[in-house]
């Protein structure tokens, strides 16, 4: 496949760009005197802004032939928005930074998925997207490790510098992807790039009439409502207990999870082909209640290993299985990236509400109770997923 190496390099470098400074934000603001409730609130505001534009961003990706430009502009905007936090710690400026980061990041996911589908086509998408995720998680490991070391050695300013360097390299990688290697009809789930020939896209009503897609989206919303706050909250809990140095410990939480994600991403496609999408995603929903229980009772430096291994298993499998399942459900409709954006929006609903929920729970009933409550939320995901097993078992993997 032409352009495969630059595509995988893009996924490697964009890992440290896509969410801005990510989990470092919580401990950075905490060191600046912010309370957990306020930290959770600004994260939620950013998440809400992102979810409002994710589905429209998918529609833009379906319609445009300038997918590489969308990735370049989003990467640059994300780095600039993240750096605002370094210079201004006021509530309005941090909110502005998080909103801008979320909006730019909302375009990156569908754009990269669309470019991958346009290059690999439907038959090769599952395999190539799995390779993308291996590169992405490896980039998270390297980015977090370098950020943690530089943050420990030179202060939090080093974290922002690393994000900027990764942003530049993500832009370079994008520009190295040959423009003519992307089939723009295939990129939206149609069969060929024949101009006005071939099948026309389906109406957007397909998003609300495809029952398996609705079940997937709702289950993921509940999963992320419980899951998204755990990493930043766990970092704050350990630091508040004076169990670790902030920047190096935050980096450790990321590295442990991302190393596991590299392995589970490699394993995901094999499991999908042998067990099917439904069983693979079921495992991710089962991991969250156990993660919440472990986080509640092991608030110390060493607790990061079991807590983040479970995060790596769940997120690593989902990062491959969910986009692959959406592409399979929407194949032939011409609405693949709108659907990817719609599912990301539902994930974003849960993820946006999670930091505020976790932050206020931690202030009200303490970190222990907050982790148990967040883990219990995922029981709704399990109920929905089990109820939809008959329909989802019918979805076949690609050849």
307 vs 69, residue with greater confidence: 69
Q: What is the mean pLDDT of residues 23-29?
A: 73
Residue 218 has pLDDT above 60, yes or no: yes
CA–CA distance from 315 to each of 37, 96, 319 (Å)? Answer: 25, 28, 6
How far, in Å, CA of 172 to CA of 180, rounded?
17
**Residue 223: band (very low, low, confident or very high) from pLDDT cuts 50, 70, 90:** very high
Say if residue 155's pLDDT is above 80.
Answer: no
Is 243 domain-assigned?
yes
280 vs 100: which has the higher pLDDT: 280
How many domains is the chain built from?
Answer: 1
Look at residue 155 and tell me if it is in a domain: yes
Cα distance between residue 352 and residue 357, in whole Å: 9
Asked if 147 and 162 touch (Cβ cutoff 8 Å), the reply is yes
Q: What is the pLDDT of residue 194?
A: 44
pLDDT digits (tens, 9 = 90+) for 332-354: 777 788 888 888 888 878 887 88
Q: How confident is the model at residue 206 (pLDDT cuts 50, 70, 90)?
A: low
Q: First and final CA of the chain: distance in angstroms?
A: 17
Given this model, what pLDDT does residue 175 score? 94
Tell me the average pLDDT across 113-135.
86
247 pLDDT more than 70: no
Q: Which residues of 52-90 are buried (b: 16+ CB within 10 A; e: fewer)?
A: bbbbbbbbbbbebeebbebbbbbbbbbbebbbbbbeeee
Considering the domain boundaries, does residue 399 fall inside one? no
Average per-residue pLDDT in the chain?
82
Find the DSSP H helices in 64-90.
Answer: 67-87
* Rounded CA separation 76/60 (Å): 18
Query: Is residue 238 situated within a structural domain?
Result: yes
Structural domain includes residue 1 = no
Find the length of the chain.
Answer: 399
Higher pLDDT, residue 287 or 207: 287
- pLDDT at residue number 396: 61
pLDDT of residue 191: 64
Give me the CATH number covering residue 142.
1.20.1250.20
**Which 3 state secondary structure label does DSSP give 182?**
coil
In a domain, 87, yes or no: yes
Q: At what angle do helices 157-176 and 91-154 cross, to 10 degrees?
A: 100
Asked whether the beta carbons of 141 and 258 are under 8 A apart, the reply is: yes
The two three-digit tokens of residue 73, written as one number: 């502009």
User: Would the pLDDT of 31 be above 80?
Assistant: no
173 vs 376: which has the higher pLDDT: 173
CA pair distance 86, 77, nearest whole angstrom:
15
* Displacement of CA 150 from its chain's centroid (Å): 24
**Closest to 10 measured CA to CA, from 174, 185, 248:** 174
Residue 12: domain span: 8-181+203-393
| Mean pLDDT value of segment 223-236 | 84
Residue 316 located in a structural domain: yes
Is 21 a domain residue?
yes
Evaluate if residue 12 carries a pLDDT over 90: yes
The pLDDT tens digits of the residues spanning 165-202 come to 888 999 999 999 999 999 988 887 776 544 444 455 55
Q: Of 133-137, 168-172, 233-237, 246-250, where does mean pLDDT reach its minimum?
A: 246-250
Is 250 or 382 the better-scoring residue by pLDDT? Answer: 382
Q: Please, which pLDDT band fits residue 241 given cuts at 50, 70 and 90? A: low
Q: What is the pLDDT of residue 197?
A: 45
Separation between Cα atoms, residue 21 and residue 161, nearest integer Å: 10
């Amino acid at each position: 496949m032409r352009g495969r190496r630059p595509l995988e390099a893009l996924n490697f470098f964009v890992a440290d760009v896509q969410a801005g400074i990510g989990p470092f934000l919580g401990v950075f603001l905490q060191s600046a005197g912010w309370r957990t409730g306020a930290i959770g609130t600004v994260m939620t505001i950013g998440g809400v802004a992102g979810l409002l534009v994710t589905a429209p961003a998918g529609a833009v990706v379906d319609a445009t032939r300038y997918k590489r430009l969308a990735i370049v502009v989003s990467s640059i905007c994300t780095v600039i928005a993240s750096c605002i936090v370094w210079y201004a710690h006021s509530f309005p400026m941090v909110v502005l930074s998080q909103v801008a980061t979320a909006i730019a990041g909302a375009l990156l996911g569908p754009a990269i998925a669309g470019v991958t589908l346009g290059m690999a086509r439907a038959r090769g998408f599952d395999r190539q997207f799995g390779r993308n995720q291996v590169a992405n998680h490896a980039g998270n490991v390297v980015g977090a490790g370098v950020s943690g070391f530089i943050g420990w050695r030179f202060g939090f300013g080093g974290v922002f510098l690393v994000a900027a360097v990764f942003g530049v390299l993500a832009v370079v990688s994008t520009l190295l992807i040959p423009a003519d290697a992307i089939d723009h009809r295939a990129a939206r789930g149609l069969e060929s790039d024949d101009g006005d020939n071939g099948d026309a896209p389906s109406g957007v009503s397909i998003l609300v009439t495809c029952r398996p897609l609705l079940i997937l989206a709702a289950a993921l919303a509940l999963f992320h409502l419980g899951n998204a706050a755990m990493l930043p909250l766990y970092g704050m809990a350990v630091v508040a207990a004076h169990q670790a140095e902030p920047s190096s410990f935050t980096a450790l939480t990321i590295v442990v999870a991302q190393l596991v994600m590299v392995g589970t991403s490699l394993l995901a496609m094999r499991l999908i082909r042998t067990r099917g999408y439904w069983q693979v995603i079921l495992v991710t929903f089962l991991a969250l209640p156990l993660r919440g229980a472990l986080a509640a009772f092991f608030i110390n430096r060493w607790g990061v290993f079991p807590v983040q291994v479970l995060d790596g298993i769940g997120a690593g499998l989902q990062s491959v299985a969910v986009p692959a399942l959406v592409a399979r459900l929407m194949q032939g409709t011409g609405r693949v990236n709108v659907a990817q954006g719609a599912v990301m929006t539902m994930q974003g609903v849960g993820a946006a509400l999670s930091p505020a929920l976790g932050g206020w729970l931690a202030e009200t009933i303490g970190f222990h109770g907050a982790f148990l409550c967040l883990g219990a939320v995922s029981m709704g995901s399990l109920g929905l997923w089990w109820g939809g097993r008959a329909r989802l078992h019918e979805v076949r993997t690609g050849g």
